[in-house]
Amino acid sequence: MRVLAAMSGGVDSAVAAARAVDAGHEVVGVHLALSRQRATLRTGARGCCTVEDAHDARRAADVLGIPFYVWDLSEQFTEAVVDDFVAEYAAGRTPNPCLRCNEKIKFSALLDKAVGLGFDALCTGHYARVERADDGTPSLHRAADPDKDQSYVLGVLTAEQLTRAVFPLGDSLKSAVRGEASRRGLAVADKPDSHDICFIADGDTRGWLEQRLGAQPGRIEDEDGVEIGTHDGAYGFTIGQRKGLRIGRPAPDGRPRYVLDIRPKEGTVVVGPAESLDVTRLVGARPRWCGPAPVGSVEVSAQVRAHGEAVPAVAVLGDGDALEVTLRVPLRGVAPGQAVVLYSGTRVMGSATITNASR
């Protein structure tokens, strides 16, 4: 099988490519240049897709003895991921750029290009498993390592995309992957994992957004509509946020306050007590199914963060593809723009973008 291995320059994708070679596949490595102005060096574990990462990926490919290329998908990435990220925050929503990247870049633009060039499959270093039925039908499952499981950010993949997906690390622990990289002589064996948002290398999301959206002063109000502070831009907040609110006076009861609502048209941020963040009902749009769409009411587990808790729930696919999810256990601090990913046991059923969260 001809396999295109996406190599980020990190340890996971390097070992995934190595395992694809060991499996007897004809493997070609590719590094994606996703930034129009790539920094020369990473800052610790922050950022990715830098010039340094491309060099690390090339050195790993040389050790494995496979061809290696750098493909520029920066224009597609900017439009589908970066611009979407800015627009979502400007609208008061909290997007997940990793999920969008998998949907629009790695398993759309990259996979389409790979298929067009005659490759049979795309190999990545994601921690997730693809199981295949006797007839070859694929299903997406959680990884063996619960601390590294990335099935949540892959919940946007369709069954057709899964037929061409190869995740060699799905049954492995991260510690074992690093040990294997060291034994193979891969220089990235001890390289830190990339954290946070890859295109905001310094981790200052609020500052990064302010550079693009400008100052937009507004009010911070309590649940009764009383102004208790001001801000420079509602886009700098997310539901459930506690730190950085810069409220001048404490709550009457002395308890911490959290962001409960963001109203970008009014420029208002509403804050209140933690218990007001609890929600039991989610409505999602743009559902994407990793297999057949559910029919009627279905018992599921619902997860709203990449490494968050999955709670028992009932999902119903309504008219116009609106997905309604009733949580049997409340979740706290769920924001519009996040994804709800549905599971049946370890199997990923699909996902939707949350448009409303309520009690």
pLDDT digits (tens, 9 = 90+) for 190-241: 998 877 788 887 888 999 999 999 999 999 999 999 999 999 999 999 999 9
* Residue 192: DSSP 8-state: P
Verify that 99 and 220 share a domain, yes or no.
no
Q: Kindly name the residue from 48, 98, 101, 290 that is annotated as catalytic.
A: 101
Residue 200 resides in a domain: no
Verify that 262 and 136 share a domain, yes or no.
no
Verify that 243 and 329 share a domain, yes or no.
no
Residue 149 resides in a domain: yes
Verify that 33 and 100 share a domain, yes or no.
yes
Reported as type and span, the H/E element at residue 59 is helix 51-64
Q: Kindly name the residue from 48, 49, 98, 198 that is annotated as catalytic.
A: 198
- 72-111: b or e for each residue (b if 16 or more CB lie within 10 Å)? ebbebbeebbbebbeebbbebbbbbbbbbbbbbbbbbbbb
Helical pair 83-90 and 205-213, crossing angle rounded to 10 deg: 90
pTM greater than the 0.85 cutoff: yes
Verify that 150 and 232 share a domain, yes or no.
no
Residue 297 resides in a domain: yes
Structural domain containing residue 66: 2-190
Amino acid at residue number 16: A
Is 290 known to be catalytic? no
Residue 207 resides in a domain: no
93-152 residue pLDDT tens:
999 999 999 999 999 999 999 999 999 999 999 999 999 999 989 999 999 999 999 999
Verify that 29 and 176 share a domain, yes or no.
yes
Is 49 known to be catalytic? no
Q: For 187, phi and psi rounded to 5 degrees? A: -65, -15
Verify that 179 and 99 share a domain, yes or no.
yes
Q: Indicate the number of domains in the chain.
A: 3
- For residue 31, the tally of other CB atoms under 10 A from its CB is 24
Verify that 256 and 309 share a domain, yes or no.
no
Q: Tell me whether strands 68-72 and 26-33 are parallel, antiparallel or unpaired.
A: parallel
Residue 196 resides in a domain: no
Tokens of 8: 């980020």
Verify that 231 and 342 share a domain, yes or no.
no
- For residue 235, the tally of other CB atoms under 10 A from its CB is 24
Verify that 72 and 157 share a domain, yes or no.
yes
Tokens of 166: 């190869």
43-57 residue pLDDT tens:
555 556 678 899 999
Say whether pLDDT at 40 is over 70: no
